[in-house]
Amino acid sequence: MDGLGLRRRFLAVALVLGLLLGVVLPPRFIFSGSSPVVAGRDLKPLMRVPVGVDVDGNRVDDWLDARA
């Protein structure tokens, strides 16, 4: 058997074994990583508003207020 045929056979066996493990193993085992967002905690932005952008405090850029 040449190298290409051996490689194809190995890849086919690896694919079948991977699919079987995906079906047999429970999802909690496969996706056991922690969640990126912890339930029950509020996310707050870390950015700060530069001085003079929102002088009136309505949370809208004063340049946009002037255009509207």
User: Residue 32: its pLDDT value, please?
Assistant: 63
Examine the pLDDT at 65 and tell me if it is beyond 80: yes
For the entire predicted model, the pTM comes to 0.39
At 34, the amino acid letter reads S
pLDDT digits (tens, 9 = 90+) for 4-51: 888 999 999 999 998 888 888 777 766 666 655 566 667 677 777 788
pLDDT digits (tens, 9 = 90+) for 50-61: 888 888 888 888
**The token pair that represents 18 in the structure block:** 């991977």
Secondary structure (3-state) at 40: coil
User: Residue 16: its pLDDT value, please?
Assistant: 94
